[in-house]
Amino acid sequence: MDEEQLICTIIAGAGEAKSSAMEAINYAKNKQFKEADKAIKTAYDSFIEIHKIQTDMIVKEANGVKHPMSLLMVHAQDHLMTTMLFLDLAKEFIDVYRHI
């Protein structure tokens, strides 16, 4: 996979993970906790896959393989980091709904 494809995979995967996390919150809001747990697991599984891509790119750069900095790369990193934050918050929301 070339670099642009990797970057687009990160963007798409982050979107999938965030959508699954939002779905999990909505399930929890409706007291459907089995479905919420399944959806948040799906979200984290998607996130782990894109995080592996990012980690591989970082390791390669640390070993001397330079990646060109593009607006697309910045956009991918933005999606990755905001999705990471969103997943953590989604987990907290699910726990809050579970205790209400």
| Calpha distance 93→26 (Å, rounded) | 10
- Catalytically annotated residue among 67, 75, 79, 99: 75
CA distances from 91 to 8, 39, 45, 66 (A): 26, 11, 14, 35
First to last CA, the chain: 46
Tell me how many degrees the CA angle 14-51-64 measures, rounded to the nearest 5.
125
75 belongs to the catalytic site: yes
Residue 35: half-sphere exposure toward Cβ, Cα within 13 Å: 11
Active site positions, annotated: 75
